Chains A and B, each alone.
Chain A
Amino acid sequence: MSFSRYSFWEVVKHAFSKEVWDTIWPAVWDTLYMVALSAVITLVLGVLLGIGLSVISKEGVKPMPILSGTSGTIVNCLRSLPQMIMIIVTLPLARMILGQSYGVNACIIALAASCIPMYARLVQGAFVEIPKGKIEAAKAMGSSSATIVFRVMLPEAIPSIIRGFTVALIGIISMTALAGSFGAGGIGDIAVRFGFNRFYHDMLIASVLVLIIMVEIVQIAGDLISNLILRRRHLI
């Protein structure tokens, strides 16, 4: 249904019809699959990379200037690519690894390459925010560097790390929508193929709705969890 042929309300009403959602639901599952898988990869590798970056930085627990400079530059290079370019750049890589450059799994490589560096920077930021005195106290008690990182810095930074993860997750959702137009399927694919190419505006409305709800859930859940932790620690 297009706005040019039907009235606004008719299109909106049809956006909630069974006909539309029979097409939307499978796409929602595709999107959720992509988001979930990239989210796990981003979380694990992003936290590790973030920890690494902050540990070897100049003010870190174990400064390594050369390695820090090199890895910082690589992260910045990856981050400077717009997500669309990143998808195009990683397509040959996907073909090499998976044997095909389309489909859900192919786009996860692009998602990871784009979101891991972004989340790593957020994790690094969370670590920098820890008051220096706490790390000094841990040092004064004779803690090794690894103990400081995993027993002091990580627990102290958890609320910020969770907050950063909601930002990263929303970034992932928006990028999966974009990846849809590069053969990844999912909600973005529906929005482009039906909503844009064929003027099915009811489908477009439904797709937008799905994305808004996803982002909203992520944001609310992220705020809730990090606030729960902060409240438990009597910090808010």
Chain B
Amino acid sequence: MSGYIRIEGLHKTFRIKKEKNEVLKGIDLSIEKGDIFGIVGFSGAGKSTLVRCINRLEEPDSGKVWIGDTEITALKKTQLNERRKKIGMIFQQFNLFDSKTVFQNIAYPLKLVKTPKKQIEQKVDKLLELVGLSDKKNAYPGSLSGGQKQRVGIARALANDPDILLSDEATSALDPVSTLSILDLLAKINAELGVTIIMITHELEAAKRICSKVAVLEDGSITECGNTRDIFLDPQSSTGRIFLEVYKEFRDESQFTGGGGI
């Protein structure tokens, strides 16, 4: 395999007392630099665990994760922390720090790498402009809407110029309009900054809108993987088909009610 991010034979089992739950059953995946790579699947398919194994928020039981020439799974804790500074991550629940203003939230990762104060100021301003929140610099996250919070989350994730952005259901808690604007923002970041984005989602619309490649995860295994277009036109796996059917039904219905007027 030749991708920038390579996952080889990844296994992960959660043990709660005596009950074993095998969440990842040998995942192999290769992701090219500069892609927006979607991982789709139903709840409980293991999407979140998979993406969290990439920056080792979850420790895999076996298998390897490579980013470029670095084997992430072999790094020691301090080395891992260094590498993590260059891997951005955004979350479904945003996970902003309520005790810090928007500015302080975005400055947090910059302070971790001991950026001089002046540069922090400049960088945060630039990021705020990128995500369109310059007027909210001194607001607290508690006063922002969901979409705005996710924009701050994205700015924070991009602060240290990461080469990879992991998105863990970043749009799932948002209303449809905010979802679209966040997706477009992610596409813009990918195009302008060349950041490789790995996004997991259960919303096909989201994957279809911005992903160049998609992998379908079903019960801990990848059932298909390829160009978004191919998978949407001709899904091979059962999850892929069910997904698409539900999606089509939903679309037909919304068109029906939408155009149905009196």
Contact = CB atoms under 8 A, between A and B. Distances in A.
Interface of A: 131, 133-134, 136-144, 147, 151-152, 155-156, 158, 232-235
Contact of B112 (A134, A142, A156, A235): A142
A146 to B, nearest CB: 12
A133 B84 contact: no
A140 B85 CA distance: 8
Given A140-B55, A142-B81, A142-B84, A131 B142 contact: no
A155 B82 CA distance: 24
Contacts, number: 67
Interface string B83-95: 1110101010101
B100 interface: yes
B87 to A, nearest CB: 7
Interface in B11-62: 55, 57
Contacts of B95: 131, 133-134, 136-137
Given A141-B85, A142-B112, A234 B140 contact: yes
15 contacts: A133-B95, A134-B97, A136-B57, A140-B166, A141-B85, A141-B108, A141-B156, A142-B109, A143-B112, A151-B108, A156-B97, A233-B98, A233-B99, A233-B141, A234-B140
Contacts of A141: 84-85, 89, 108-109, 112, 156, 160
Interface residues of B, number: 30
Nearest to A234: B142
B99 A142 contact: no
Task: From B140, B160, B166, name the one whose CB has the most chain A CB atoms within 10 angstroms.
Answer: B140
A219 B99 CA distance: 23
A169 to B, nearest CB: 23
A13 B97 CA distance: 54
Contact of A156 (B82, B98, B139): B98
Contacts of A156: 97-99
B160 to A, nearest CB: 8
